[in-house]
Amino acid sequence: MRSLSNWISRLSTGRVALAALLAFLLFMIFVLPGQAGQAEAVSAGVGSPDTTFFYSTADLYAMAEAYGASGRADYIRARFTFDLIFPLVYGIFLLTSVSWLATRAFEETSSSRLLNLVPGFGMLFDFLENGAASLVMARYPLETAVVDVLAPVFSVLKWFFLGVAFLLLFILGFYRLFRRRTSS
């Protein structure tokens, strides 16, 4: 884990983190609103596993039912197009930004530098959630044992790690600003 953390830290220069921030902002402005509108139309007002923090297996099947055959096909298509790219965009932004800030906040030998891996766990659980929910949608009305139970777990873990990643970003960012002001 430490070698992965160090590798990400070495790649995370200020310019790379800034470019990742720019890509993230452009994606949020130009791509996400259209995708959110499409997802809302498909979801028939019952929501989506991707945007729901807590849901049960029964909720997942209720979503699959409400989407209908074409809605489920649209959902799956979005998971293997948009939702392959978006986790990479936000993940690279969070990985590089947290890493860049962590290298300025913690000594090179500090275990706290491993915090830069937190966004990677958010990305991983996002991909797992997308795969699990897509499999349930693809097989509906058949039940998909185990996977249907894992999808909500992956969602909670995704949101937990992404929440922690954004919290780290803000805490480390404020710490960096505070240290710059006090050293001047």
For residues 89 and 18, give the distance between their C-alpha atoms in angstroms, rounded to a whole number: 13
Q: What is the pLDDT of residue 77?
A: 95
Q: Is the pLDDT of residue 6 over 70?
A: yes
For the chain, which residues make up each domain, given as ranges?
Answer: 2-179
pTM above 0.85, yes or no: yes
Q: Is the pLDDT of residue 37 over 90?
A: no
SS3 of 164, please?
A: helix
Other Cβ atoms closer than 10 A to 31? 14
Q: What is the pLDDT of residues 131-150, one digit of tens each?
A: 999 999 999 999 999 999 99
For residues 102 and 9, give the distance between their C-alpha atoms in angstroms, rounded to a whole number: 8
Q: What is the pLDDT of residue 43?
A: 83
For residues 84 and 127, give the distance between their C-alpha atoms in angstroms, rounded to a whole number: 7
What is the DSSP secondary structure assignment for residue 145, as one 8-state letter?
A: T
For residues 50 and 43, give the distance between their C-alpha atoms in angstroms, rounded to a whole number: 11
SS3 of 52, please?
A: coil
SS3 of 13, please?
A: coil
